[in-house]
Structure 1
Amino acid sequence: MPKRKGFPFDLTPSRAALEAAADAMPKPLGRIGQLEVRLAERPRDVKRAQRLRYEVFYKELSAVADPLARLARRDMDAYDAVCDHLLVLDHTPRPKPAKALLGLQGFELKGLEGKGAEFARAFGEAAAPFKPKGFKKKPRVVGAYRLLRQEAADRAFGFYTSGEFAIDDLVARHRGLSFLELGRSCVEKAYRDKRTVELLWQGIWAYVQAHDVDVMIGCASLEGCDPQRLALPLSYLHHFHAAPAEWSASALPGRRTDMNLMPKEAIDLRAALKALPPLIKGYLRLGAFIGDGAVIDRQFGTTDVLIVMPRALINPRYVDYYGGDAGRRAA
């Protein structure tokens, strides 16, 4: 794929590394209708995920792009080159432009300009058998996760999470267990529904099983950098989901923000759950623990907490669910 003019390098894994990772897994990892989950197989797949992350983190949310990200219009860092990348792809044929749908060139489709994705999804699977001229057939990346196994982290820069939380001691306490870092979770706005989440988690679970992962870790974010405005959800996580000593790790000294901002008895449980992002609620349903203290990430405009999920302690209901056929269960 030609490089963007004026952009001299790309932070993506090699094609050989991506193909080796993908070849070690079933293809696809799951499918629901026109949506499919699989690992990235080419550097261009990773670039498409990075573009999606840029759209969500920097344009939709409040992250501040550095010069490299602005130049490439992609969210990327050095970790991208050593991670595996889990993708959700939409195979629904897309009109280019909207007027091309079913050969309607020359007709006015008022209100549809700039809404090709929503229109294609609304048209749905009825469009699948038809591929008229003017349709884009290349699947688009609509969801992504970045996966960093312990052995890859050890060969490179360590875990991304270690820049915010003191996880080295946690890993050392469980020497012999295999850790996997989950990061850069991202879903296009129009696809933030049950089907996409089902596929991402089926893909993660297949990856965990294939690589015999024992513990999943990662940073999860609450939007905003003012802990006082986040006092309710942070205090709820501290009082009701704190990791036991065996699985705990603290935010780094100098970066730590206290999460114990309200007494336990003052917490409105329903309001606290409502204030949590869907991603964190999903982790909690699986049985995740929360580390000690939060970290403010001013580049991304978020307050981050540590997620720790020992595989052996995951709710058996979800082990059965995601170990099965997501297409059959969620279609």
Structure 2
Amino acid sequence: MTVELLDRLENAKANRLAGEVDGRESDVFGRLGTLEVRLARNPSEVKASQAMRYRIFVEEMKARLPSEAMRLKLDFDAFDDICDHLLVLDRAIEGDPEDQIVGTYRLLRHEVALANSGFYSASEFSIEALLERHPEKRFMELGRSCVLPDYRTKRTVELLWQGNWAYSVRHNIDALFGCASFPGVQPEKHALALSFLAQNASAKDEWAVSARPELFRAMDLMPSEIVDARRAVASMPPLVKGYLRIGAMIGTGAVIDHAFNTTDVLIVLPLTSLSGRFLNYYGASGRFSS
């Protein structure tokens, strides 16, 4: 990556954090009632999203973060500084925008990852081969997704995906990937859901990707003849169900993340695989409101 391109990336980041949004490209990607999805506009909003992540990951899911993160009650790492932060806000909540954040995603574009320390998911999944098989494609990593308990509904998930889609259209992204989590560190407790994913939604051929060998945990834990599809899907976290609904595939093997107290799978989604229903609903331009 050239010095000129790196300078442009840094300038773009500075402008974004200063709230200097181009009038032709609003950072508001969609609305549903009082809910709005857009990018974080300043460091204060990023910090508020990190505080929300802390409440969910640590206080609810019992994650164990580094001591500084625990002291500050913020979920943060080096990737936060190079990612864009997608937010869902509820405008009906009184207060500043920082008080209105109810959901978030962390978005890392291919060229930004290559210019820095790579992709977060590479610590758990062997994504290098996937990238090498598609040198002409631009990837984006989705991470740190979470939603406040009272907002874990179809409407919020729809808005998060509207934001992901609109952002992908804007930046000419070809494929998405990222970790999705099941609660707890015992895959056997999710045997039905994991077996269904392994048997029915596995990424194959040019999109195949596996958990790193030293971390690999089998997902296909039950015979296919006793895996009930309806029960399996009903037992999945809402975001995993949302991924399946729009046509995502799942990598081979799960990974136990002891720090976050989760069982992780890898989502792989070529944007050409998006379901027709998704495109009809959101539109090819990425704009959406209701």
Q: State the distance in 1 between where 2:264 and 2:184 align.
A: 10
| Range 23-32 or range 63-72, more displaced | 23-32
Q: State the distance in 1 between where 2:238 and 2:103 align.
A: 15
**Is 2:246 the counterpart of 1:286?**
yes
Which ranges in structure 1 are unaligned for 5 or more consecutive residues? 1-12, 95-135
Quote the residue 2:9 is aligned against.
none
Q: State the distance in 2 between where 1:242 and 1:30 align.
A: 31
Candidates 190, 195, 198, aligned match of 1:235:
195
**CA positional deviation for 1:304:** 0.4
Which ranges in structure 2 are unaligned for 5 or more consecutive residues? 1-11
Matched to 2:256, the amino acid is I
Quote the residue 2:80 is aligned against.
80
Gap change, CA 1:22 and 1:265, over 3 Å in 2 = farther
Where do 1:147-186 residues align within 5 Å? 147-186=107-146
**CA positional deviation for 1:80:** 0.4
Quote the residue 1:305 is aligned against.
265
Q: SS at the partner of 1:54?
A: helix
Question: C-alpha offsets along residues 260-312 of structure 1, whole Å, 9 cap, x if unaligned?
Answer: 21121121222211221111111011111111111000111111001000001
**CA positional deviation for 1:19:** 4.5
TM (norm. structure 1) is: 0.79
Q: State the distance in 2 between where 1:304 and 1:67 align.
A: 23
**Is 2:252 the counterpart of 1:296?**
no
Quote the residue 1:261 is aligned against.
221
Q: State the distance in 2 between where 1:170 and 1:21 align.
A: 35
Count of aligned pairs between the two proteins: 275
Gap change, CA 1:173 and 1:21, over 3 Å in 2 = farther
**Is 2:21 the counterpart of 1:61?**
no
**CA positional deviation for 1:25:** 3.5
| Range 179-188 or range 32-41, more displaced | 32-41
Q: SS at the partner of 2:107?
A: strand
**Is 2:32 the counterpart of 1:32?**
yes
Q: State the distance in 2 between where 1:266 and 1:213 align.
A: 38
Quote the residue 1:321 is aligned against.
281
Matched to 2:281, the amino acid is Y
Q: State the distance in 2 between where 1:67 and 1:185 align.
A: 22
Q: SS at the partner of 1:270?
A: helix
Q: State the distance in 1 between where 2:30 and 2:55 align.
A: 25
Quote the residue 1:48 is aligned against.
48
Q: SS at the partner of 2:55?
A: helix
**CA positional deviation for 1:224:** 1.3
**CA positional deviation for 1:20:** 7.8
Residues 15 and 41, structure 1, Cα contact 8 Å, conserved in 2: no
Residues 148 and 181, structure 1, Cα contact 8 Å, conserved in 2: yes
Question: C-alpha offsets along residues 160-193 of structure 1, whole Å, 9 cap, x if unaligned?
Answer: 1101000011011011100000111111112222
Q: State the distance in 1 between where 2:174 and 2:20 align.
A: 19
Gap change, CA 1:62 and 1:199, over 3 Å in 2 = same
| Range 26-35 or range 312-321, more displaced | 26-35
Residues 247 and 269, structure 2, Cα contact 8 Å, conserved in 1: yes
What's the Cα RMSD here?
1.9
Larger C-alpha radius of gyration, 1 or 2?
1
TM (norm. structure 2) is: 0.89
Q: State the distance in 2 between where 1:309 and 1:318 align.
A: 13
**Is 2:163 the counterpart of 1:203?**
yes
